[in-house]
Amino acid sequence: MRLSGRELRLRAAEARRHYARCDLCAHLCGVDRRHGPAGVCQEDDGLSLAGAGVHYGEEPQLVPSGLILIAGCNLSCQSCETWSFSLERRGTVRTSAEQLAALLLDLEKSGAANANFVTPTHVLPVLLEALAVAAEHGWSLPVVWNCGGYESIEALRLLEGVVDVYLPDAKYGDDAVAYELSGCKRYTAALDRSLREMHRQAEVIVRHLVLPGAVASPGKLMPLIASVSPAICINVLSQYRPVYRAARFPVIARGVTAQEVSAAVEAARSAGLRNILVDGRPA
């Protein structure tokens, strides 16, 4: 993080103004979130947390990572692994910027190498406020933005100089599938714009969760990522399980096979991507 506490306060104030006509993600809802839940994400202008702690299960270059699990999400994935707190907000705790700043200081003392905000974009202004308070108390860890890849340029510009590593998902290479399975319109164009802006600002590590039957279209997705930069690190994940509402969608109602994972890796190679991981290990 390259901004001072004072600069972060100014950035947070600028970000908070976006709640009045929210454009904090690629849905660009234009709603006023200051008076209660609104927009596709149905979030107000506060923050709820689902948990936090030092975590070793992230990409090797990021561990030990200070994970901060944020409630709510701007995507509505039918097979969301974290649906209980991301979509139904179960067991989550309303948290002020000052409380989150104290948590950031605790994570630093516990040996975390970074602050890894999981699903952060819809609460970006509160996170900047928390980072400002923490920075004023000497906190200085790198910031990892662990997001869905459906960001807006408006939001990403607010993060310039704040985020050290972007860790976006790249879910689909096909817009119709993205809309059906995650409720995102014009997904590939938004992903393309997001990745280019992230790459301009900071290091980018992309995650791709392989779905059954190539429904995520890796053959179209990997060239999109490679067109941003063939040096971008892509982590191909094999852990898909048909949880939450997946059983309602025959195309995603089973796990993936080893052949489907290999096909996604091959698609990444064929697209020219040079830095490929599979479940965090070099392919």
Q: Which residues are near ligand SF4 by CB under 6 A? A: 22-25, 27-29, 31, 33, 39-41, 43, 74, 122
Asked if 1 and 135 count as a contact pair (C-beta separation under 8 A), the reply is yes
Taking the complex as a whole, how short is the minimal distance between the CB of residue 36 and ligand SF4, in angstroms?
A: 12
Asked if 246 and 178 count as a contact pair (C-beta separation under 8 A), the reply is no
Give 39 or 218: the residue with its C-beta nearer to ligand SF4. 39
Give 157 or 241: the residue with its C-beta nearer to ligand SF4. 157
Taking the complex as a whole, how short is the minimal distance between the CB of residue 102 and ligand SF4, in angstroms?
A: 25
Give 121 or 217: the residue with its C-beta nearer to ligand SF4. 121
Query: Three-class SS of residue 90?
Result: coil
Taking the complex as a whole, how short is the minimal distance between the CB of residue 27 and ligand SF4, in angstroms?
A: 4
Give the contacts of 232 (CB within 8 A, at least 6 positions apart): 195, 199, 204, 205, 206, 225, 226, 273, 275
What are the helix (H) ranges across 77-159?
83-86, 97-109, 124-136, 153-158
Cα end-to-end span (Å), the chain = 30
Q: Which residue is nearest to ligand SF4 (CB)?
A: 39
Taking the complex as a whole, how short is the minimal distance between the CB of residue 75 and ligand SF4, in angstroms?
A: 9
Query: Three-class SS of residue 282?
Result: strand
Taking the complex as a whole, how short is the minimal distance between the CB of residue 31 and ligand SF4, in angstroms?
A: 5
Give 38 or 268: the residue with its C-beta nearer to ligand SF4. 38
Q: Sort 161 into a burial class: Cβ within 10 Å, 0-12 / 13-18 / 19+.
A: middle
Taking the complex as a whole, how short is the minimal distance between the CB of residue 135 and ligand SF4, in angstroms?
A: 24
Give 185 or 269: the residue with its C-beta nearer to ligand SF4. 185
Asked if 166 and 147 count as a contact pair (C-beta separation under 8 A), the reply is yes
Give 118 or 233: the residue with its C-beta nearer to ligand SF4. 118
